[in-house]
Amino acid sequence: MLERLEWLIGDENIAKLKTKTVLIVGLGGVGGYVVTALARSGIEHFIIVDHDIVDITNLNRQIIATNSTIGKLKVDVTNDLLHDINNKIIIDKKPLFLTLENIDEVFSQKIDFVIDACDTIKTKEAIINMCLNKKIKFISAMGTGNRMDPSQLEITDITKTNNDPLARIIRKWYKDNKIKEKVIVACSREVPKKNGNKIGSNSFVPASCGLLIASYVIKTFINE
């Protein structure tokens, strides 16, 4: 199934990717596209974390959301989709909300890369801290809501972000805690539309962010 990718990156890199374990926290608009792109790129071991179920409001942007999956756990839907792509994939499903109380359990096994695609600030901070302490490569997705231009997405250091309210909070936490290591994020330079307390979304900005992250992960593994 990976013949065309092999033409691009070589069989040695395909073999390398098959040995990697990737943890993904959050299987929504961003995380769903990350995990499916990685599955199509040769990754064969995933730990997927999400406590939520597919909702009708997810249909406009989440790759796992269809009328037939509404009401099902996102980890179960993702599990089925990944196995439909590649039945050799090994998946550790964790239908839970990641907190300081259970994060040690989630990180108890070998992990080569962590993707934070969740929405909760405290969870993001806990993931970043854990990855830095354990020296695990990671990337954290910032906000994609209320934006319309996927071309303004970029991979950057948290200290270089702008126009993103979520990144501003993480950046302040980073500085307040005097963290010295780099924290790599996927972030948009686009100023989000003011929409009161509502967070609008579309099919293309979260998806583009997920694919950008997947590209970063694969290139990181290849360049090791």
Nearest-angstrom CA–CA distance, 98 and 94: 9
C-alpha separations of 163 from 1, 167, 201 in Å: 40, 8, 17
**Whole-number percent of the chain with pLDDT over 90:** 98
pLDDT tens column, 129-175: 999 999 999 999 999 999 999 999 999 999 999 999 999 999 999 99
Q: Concatenate the DSSP letters of all residues of the chain into one string.
A: --HHHHHHH-HHHHHHHHT-EEEEE--STTHHHHHHHHHTTT--EEEEE---B--GGGTTT-TT--TTTTTSBHHHHHHHHHHHH-TT-EEEEE-S---TTTHHHHTSS--SEEEE----HHHHHHHHHHHHHHT-EEEEE---TT---GGGEEEEEGGG--S-HHHHHHHHHHHHTT--S--EEEEE-SPPPPBTB-----SSHHHHHHHHHHHHHHHHHHT-
Q: Is the pLDDT of residue 198 over 90?
A: yes
Q: Domain coordinates of the chain in residue numbers? A: 3-222
Compute the mean pLDDT over every residue in the chain, rounded to the nearest whole number.
97
CATH of domain 3-222: 3.40.50.720
Average pLDDT over residues 197-216: 97
Label residue 1 by pLDDT band (50, 70, 90): confident
Q: pLDDT value at position 54?
A: 98
Give the Cβ contact number of residue 153 at 10 Å. Answer: 24
Give residue for tokens 């970029």.
154
Label residue 115 by pLDDT band (50, 70, 90): very high
pLDDT tens column, 29-39: 999 999 999 99
**Whole-number percent of the chain with pLDDT over 70:** 100
pTM: 0.97
CA 82 to chain centre: 15
pLDDT tens column, 15-34: 999 999 999 999 999 999 99
